[in-house]
Amino acid sequence: MTSSAAGDAPLRDAAGAFSIAYDLDGTTVFGHYSTDEHRFTETFDFGGIDSVRPLDVRLVRMLVLVASLSYYKAVPTTEIVVEFPITLAERDFLAKVIRFGLAEFAYTNDLPGKLRPAISCAPLESKGDGDAWDPAAPPLVPVGGGKDSVVTIELLKATGWTPVLFSVNRHESIDRCVETSGLEYVSVARSLDRRLLDLNAAGAPNGHVPVTAINSLVALLVADARSLGSVVLSNERSANSGNVEWDGIEVNHQWSKGLEFENLLRRTLALVGFNPDRYFSLLRPARELDIAAKFTEFPQYFSRFTSCNRAFRMDASRRTESWCGECPKCLFVFLILAPSLSKDTLVSIFGSDLLDDPRHIPLYEEILGVRGFKPFECVGEIDEAVEALLATARLSEWGDDAVLRDLVPRVRVPVPDTTTSPDNIPDTYTTAKHELFRH
C-alpha cells in the first residue's frame, strides 16, 4: 500500500476508512463503497448501448472512483482506501475531483477536511492496451435537455457530422430534444443505492457533487464500447468562473463543466493510454450570450427544451414538467434569451414574464452581482448577465418590467470583454467551431 495526505482531516477515523471497490459483470459496472458502518452499491447498466467491444477497465476504474463522491461525502471519515490497483494519474485525478468537485458541498456544510482525504492504494504501472480510436467516427453528444446541447447538436449537423446522442438515465425533457433532433440516442441506467438516500434523509451531510464528471466517464465508456469518435460536451466559457473564495480555493458550482476539469480529465486519459481528443467541449470559446443568440436560430426546440434542474429531481413527485420559473437557472436563462427573442415568444416558453415579478429581484441581485455572490447554480458570469439586462432594457417592449426598473440603475456596467478563451477543440471540428460564431 502507498499512502499520502494533504492538510488536516478532522473527521478521520470516525467511521473507519472509506473503501472503494468494484465488479464488472459484462455490461454492468457495480461500484462498492463502504465504511465500518455502511455498505453501498451503485450500478451502471450499459446493456442498451449496442456495444461492439467490452467496457475498457481503465475507464471503468475512473468511473468508479468519481462515482464514489456521492457516498464519501455522506460518511464521517476522510480516509479513503482504494481496494484495486490504480495508476498515480488516477490517484491524482481522484484527489483533485474531491478537492474541487466537492468544494461547494464542503463550503455549505462547513467541512473543509473532506476536501483533503488520505488516499491509500496499490500502485499500478501499466498504461493498458493502447488506443484503437478513430477521430473521424461519429461523435457522441451528451444531451441535458437545455439550449447548450441543442446548439452543439445543430452545429455538428450543419457541418457534416451525424452525432449519436446520449444521456445517463432518461428524462422527458431530454427525450423531447432527442425526438426533435431526429438522431440516434442511447442511454445508460445509473442506480444510486437507496441506503444513501435513507442516510441523507436521516441527516447525513448532503450537497452538490460534480455530476458532469461522472456523466463524462460514462460517456467515454459508451463512445469507446460503440467505436464512436469524440465525446463532445456543451460546456461554455462561463463555467470556468467560480462563485466564492473559501478555504484557499475558488468554490465553483460548475467546476466539472469548466476548463480545469476538462484539462484534468484529458491529461489523465493521456497518462493511462488514451488520445485526449476523445473528450472536449465544442462551446468552450463561447459566452452564454453567444450560445443564447445561436439557439434562437433553432425555433423547433423552443417548446421542447428545459434547463430547469427541478425537472431532473430523483424524486418524481417533486419534479417539474418544464420550467419552475423560480430558481436561479430559470431566471438566468430567461434573462440571457431576452435580448434575442421577442417578449411574446419568451413568455410562451416559460409561461410567464420572469422579469416582471418583483419576487425575483433578490435572486436577480445575486445573478447580477448587486449583492452576495453568484448563486450555486449553472448560471453565467455576472458581467454577461448585466450585459443581457442592459440590452433588454433598451428594447421598448421590456421597459416597464419590475426587475428592469429596479435593477438597471443599480448594476455595475461591465467593461467590454475582448478576451478569448482557450479550448481543446480538435482541427477536425474547426468548421463547427466557426459556425458557432456565425450569426
Q: Residue 321's pLDDT is what?
A: 67
Q: Coil, helix or strand for 250?
A: strand
**Which of 99, 22, 92, 14 lies closest to 55 in space, CA to CA?**
22
Give the closest residue to 354 by CA, choosing from 390, 323, 320, 379: 323
d(CA 221, CA 4): 29
Among candidates 288, 236, 287, which has minimal Cα distance to 262? 236
**Cell triple for 395:** 428594447
User: What is the pLDDT, as a whole number, of residue 403?
Assistant: 97
Cell of 136: 473521424
Q: Find the farthest-apart pair of alpha carbons in the chain and give their distance in angstroms, rounded.
A: 68
Q: What's the pLDDT score for residue 129? A: 67
Per-residue confidence (pLDDT) for residue 86, from 0 to 100: 97
pLDDT in tens, the chain (439 residues): 333 333 333 444 556 899 999 999 999 999 999 999 999 999 999 999 999 999 999 999 999 999 999 999 999 999 999 999 999 999 999 999 999 999 999 999 999 999 999 999 999 987 766 688 999 999 999 999 999 999 999 999 999 999 999 999 999 889 999 999 999 999 999 999 999 999 999 999 999 999 999 999 999 999 999 999 999 999 999 999 999 999 999 999 999 999 999 999 999 999 999 999 999 999 999 999 999 999 999 999 999 999 887 766 555 555 556 799 999 999 999 999 999 999 999 999 999 999 999 999 999 999 999 999 899 998 999 999 999 999 999 999 998 999 999 999 999 988 877 778 899 999 999 999 999 998 7
Q: What is the pLDDT of residue 14?
A: 53
SS3 at position 127: coil
CB 290 within 8 A of CB 434: no
SS3 29: strand
Per DSSP, what are the bridge partners of residue 80? 18, 119
3-state secondary structure 394-429: CCHHHCCCHHHHHHHHHCCCCCCCCCCCCCCCCHHH
Q: Could you give the count of Cα atoms lying within 13 Å of 340 in the half-sphere of its Cβ?
A: 21
Contact indicator for 283, 147 with CB cutoff of 8 Å: no
Q: Which three cell numbers stand for residue 92?
A: 491524482
- Looking at residue 314, its pLDDT comes to 55
Q: What does DSSP assign to residue 209?
A: -
Q: How many residues does the chain have?
A: 439
Q: Are strands 79-82 and 118-121 parallel, antiparallel or unpaired?
A: parallel
End-to-end alpha-carbon separation of the chain, Å? 57
